[in-house]
């Protein structure tokens, strides 16, 4: 059964990390270079104070109807996706305590991941590791979850680098699967027939009241587990949608900048591989980026009467990229798979040349 252990941030903060039987010594970041070839400076790894697998990654948590998730408040956040025609929600409440959920769907094997320390929600196709599972290594890279692949020759995969940083698979990259993060209420509204990961086999209280990180996620809180130069342009834990760009470090859309008080907002951008559009929904506290092309035709969008519509056909669109009214009803925009939500300090650390959209 899981037990709790605590990490004190030099008087700033008390963490309570839910874990299963640790079964070993804590990871030693200083030994990484000796045991594995690495692409990144090993000094940027830190010992999270726990052993490998002490935070227990999940395998196929049971997906049940929405009313099964009695531990969820409407304002709690979920990672949502549609796979094999079924809408699926994975609550942050569960990933606070497990960080990785390995799913084996008929068409694809996924790892849906969330790092509570960097606020980063990302999903990966596990084909790069032959369909094997990811576990929690116990190490942190620039305060970010470092996964390991459960294969004979384990490699280390910092979540936000999206590639193997150390080990035999050095430099191998993970294909990202697009997901959208929003409130539980928002996801249920968009997908009333959704299934939600709600049974894990662990006796853990997944309610918001048992959130294990105290005030850590408050936007202005600069407490980190490991010291890091924080880009002072924005509050450290401000939530954003980031879109990587290999040429210029990408662009960050802070939720606080997208929120202009209106129910919805659209922003057009030109990414390195073509035009994109960012949709924002205030009620659902959600943003996602899409290719601004449909069947080869470029679309432009605006907000009218609180609704997102395209100028070309006057069709109405939702924040998840689905057209729900007008000539294009039923059509879906292609999401930018590499876009993901994170805290500002972490995004800027991994993308130091990032541009910040300022409205």
User: Rounded CA gap, 53 and 21, in Å?
Assistant: 8
Determine, yes or no, domain membership for 66: yes
Residues 185 and 42 placed together within one structural domain of the fold:
yes
Determine, yes or no, domain membership for 317: yes
Determine, yes or no, domain membership for 225: no
Torsion of CA 65, 66, 69, 70, to 10 degrees: -120
Residues 21 and 86 placed together within one structural domain of the fold:
yes
Determine, yes or no, domain membership for 47: yes
3-state SS, residue 156: strand
The pLDDT value recorded for residue 105 is: 97
The pLDDT value recorded for residue 31 is: 56
Kind of pairing, strands 86-91 and 195-199? parallel
Question: DSSP secondary-structure letter at 61?
Answer: P
Instruction: Provide the domain limits for residue 18.
Output: 3-196
Determine, yes or no, domain membership for 217: no
Determine, yes or no, domain membership for 213: no
The pLDDT value recorded for residue 247 is: 73
Residues 119 and 32 placed together within one structural domain of the fold:
yes
| Closest to 239 (Cα-Cα) out of 74, 114, 119 | 119
Residues 167 and 251 placed together within one structural domain of the fold:
no
The pLDDT value recorded for residue 194 is: 98
The pLDDT value recorded for residue 50 is: 87
Q: Which of 196, 225, 257 marks a domain boundary?
A: 196
10-residue block means of pLDDT along the chain (359 residues)?
30 30 44 70 88 96 96 98 98 98 98 98 96 95 96 91 94 97 98 97 91 95 95 98 89 98 96 93 98 96 98 98 98 98 98 94
Residues 58 and 172 placed together within one structural domain of the fold:
yes
Query: 236 Cβ partners below 8 Å, 6+ apart?
Result: 219, 220, 221, 222, 224, 230, 343, 344, 345
Determine, yes or no, domain membership for 37: yes
The pLDDT value recorded for residue 26 is: 46
Residues 189 and 261 placed together within one structural domain of the fold:
no
Residues 57 and 165 placed together within one structural domain of the fold:
yes
- Cα Rg, the chain, nearest whole Å: 20
Determine, yes or no, domain membership for 160: yes
| Closest to 266 (Cα-Cα) out of 233, 241, 294 | 241
Residues 247 and 342 placed together within one structural domain of the fold:
yes
The pLDDT value recorded for residue 28 is: 56
Q: Which of 130, 163, 196 marks a domain boundary?
A: 196
Residues 192 and 247 placed together within one structural domain of the fold:
no
Looking at the structure of the chain, the number of domains it has is 2
Q: How many CB atoms lie within 10 A of CB 325?
A: 14
Residues 186 and 247 placed together within one structural domain of the fold:
no
Give the domain CATH number at 289: 2.102.10
Residues 184 and 74 placed together within one structural domain of the fold:
yes
Global pTM value: 0.91
Residues 182 and 328 placed together within one structural domain of the fold:
no
Q: Which of 165, 196, 227 marks a domain boundary?
A: 196
């Amino acid at each position: 059964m899981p037990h709790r252990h605590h990490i004190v941030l030099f008087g700033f903060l008390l963490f309570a990390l839910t874990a299963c039987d640790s079964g070993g010594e804590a990871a030693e970041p200083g030994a990484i270079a000796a045991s594995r070839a690495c692409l990144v400076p090993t000094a940027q790894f830190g010992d999270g104070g726990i052993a490998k697998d002490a935070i227990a990654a999940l395998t196929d948590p049971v997906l049940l109807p929405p009313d099964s998730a009695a531990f969820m408040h409407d304002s709690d956040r979920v990672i949502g996706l549609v796979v094999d025609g079924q809408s699926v929600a994975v609550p942050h409440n569960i990933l606070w305590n497990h960080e990785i959920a390995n799913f084996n769907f008929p068409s694809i094997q996924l790892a849906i991941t969330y790092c509570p320390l960097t606020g980063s929600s990302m999903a990966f196709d596990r084909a790069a590791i032959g369909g094997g599972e990811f576990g929690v290594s116990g190490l942190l890279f620039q305060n970010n979850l470092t996964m390991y692949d459960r294969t004979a020759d384990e490699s280390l995969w910092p979540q936000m680098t999206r590639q193997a940083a150390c080990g035999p698979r050095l430099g191998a990259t993970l294909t990202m699967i697009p997901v959208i993060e929003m409130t539980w209420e928002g996801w249920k509204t968009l997908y009333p027939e959704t299934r939600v990961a709600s049974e894990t086999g662990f006796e853990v209280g997944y309610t918001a009241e048992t959130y294990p990180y105290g005030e850590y996620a408050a936007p202005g809180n600069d407490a980190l587990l490991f010291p890091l130069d924080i880009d002072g342009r924005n509050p450290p834990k401000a939530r954003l949608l980031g879109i990587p760009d290999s040429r210029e470090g990408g662009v960050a859309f802070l939720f606080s900048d997208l929120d202009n008080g209106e129910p919805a907002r659209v922003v057009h951008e030109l990414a390195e591989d073509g035009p994109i559009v960012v949709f924002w929904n205030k009620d659902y506290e959600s943003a996602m980026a899409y290719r601004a092309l449909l069947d080869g035709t470029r679309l432009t969008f605006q907000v009218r009467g609180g609704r997102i519509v395209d100028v070309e056909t006057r069709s109405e669109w939702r924040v998840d990229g689905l057209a729900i009214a007008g000539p294009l009803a039923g059509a879906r925009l292609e999401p930018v798979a590499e876009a993901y939500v994170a805290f500002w300090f972490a995004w800027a650390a991994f993308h130091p040349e990032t541009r910040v959209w300022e409205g």
